Amino acid sequence: MKRDGEEKTPIEKSEDNKRFKGQNNNNFRGRNNNNNNQQNKNEEKDLVFNDPEIKTLFSAYSKKLDEDNDRRERIVKSSRDITIQSKRVISLLQRAVWEDKNEIIKQSKQNLQPIYKLFEVIIKELDQQEYYKFQRAFSMGIQEFVEAVSFQYYLEHSSLISVDEIINPMKESLGLESLGQFSISLEDYALGICDLSGELMRYATNLCTKQKIDECFNICSFVREMSNGFKKCHLNRDISSKMNTMEDSLKKIEKLCFSIRVRKSEFPNVDILLGSDSMNEPMNIEN
């Protein structure tokens, strides 16, 4: 009798945890519960279920759900790491204004290698799986990555990177013939490229401080061309909202180029030095 009583208490506790408390920290719950389930298997059958078949069914469902959730967690984790590292590559590339551009590009290419490794994790997880089932778990990472790679590509070639040019170095680096289920969807590519306009806006602003004015005009026409390209397309909701941000960036770059022209025309023979926040600060004339 006593023994029974002692044994029941922890079971009931774990039941209660499952029902009400533990719901929020699911990631940790998975493992604990598995242990509990195994321990209590026999007792639960007698205690809880009238129809043992339902238990069998739900045990199978539970296993399947856990598998999917664990897989999704692993993918989300890699995706987050991809995002962080891509952001670092981007801020490294921004320094190309002040430092040796070729050196920075070389450095950034090296920094991409660990990101490829992270993609390998996702590629492996997606093997024999549904790409779109997990797409939302990693699309943020891809977008950030596209942004980083396209920025780097622009600095190197002054043109827009294509999807293949993103995928091929990845294949090369990982030594894979094909990426299986994995690909960079058109949508993620487009969203990443929209973000590129924001980076280029920052880059252009910084360029002004170094008086690299021609490059600034090049960026202006590049972003304009990109924005025109998007306008031709039948856009879905996600892309059109990003498009607005892109238009804002474009307007800022245009305004920047405009003020350069205006000020240059006033003092055609003088080097002007614009502050990084060129709109608001009075200009400095250097003699």
Partner 1 sequence: MESVFEKFSVDLEKEFQIREQIKDIVKNIEPVERKLSTLVQQYHSVSCTTTYQHLLTEIEPLKIQIDQLKSLIKPELYFKYREYWKFSLTNISFSLLFSYWIEKKQLLKIEELQSLLNLEENKPGAFSLELEDYLIALCNLSNELSRYCLNCVIRQDYETPSAISKFESDLFAGFRLLNLKNDIVRKRYDSMKYDLKRIEEVVYDISVRGLKK
Contacts with partner 1 by CB under 8 A lie at 15, 18-19, 23-24, 26, 29-30, 33, 37, 44, 48-51, 53-55, 57-59, 61-62, 64-66, 69, 128-133, 135, 159-160, 162, 181, 186, 190, 225-226, 229-230, 232-236
Please report how close the Cβ of residue 119 comes to partner 1 at its closest, in angstroms. Answer: 18
Please report how close the Cβ of residue 250 comes to partner 1 at its closest, in angstroms. Answer: 15
Q: Which is nearer to partner 1, 128 or 280 (CB)?
A: 128
Q: Which is nearer to partner 1, 6 or 46 (CB)?
A: 46
Q: Which is nearer to partner 1, 111 or 218 (CB)?
A: 218
Please report how close the Cβ of residue 110 comes to partner 1 at its closest, in angstroms. Answer: 27
Q: Which is nearer to partner 1, 56 or 276 (CB)?
A: 56
Q: Which is nearer to partner 1, 97 or 142 (CB)?
A: 142
Please report how close the Cβ of residue 10 comes to partner 1 at its closest, in angstroms. Answer: 15
Please report how close the Cβ of residue 93 comes to partner 1 at its closest, in angstroms. Answer: 20
What is the C-alpha to C-alpha distance for residues 11 and 37, in angstroms, rounded to an integer? 9
Q: Which is nearer to partner 1, 3 or 234 (CB)?
A: 234
Query: What's the CA angle centered on 159, arms 156 and 160, to 5 degrees?
Result: 115
Cα dihedral across residues 159, 165, 169, 170: positive or negative: positive
Please report how close the Cβ of residue 122 comes to partner 1 at its closest, in angstroms. Answer: 15
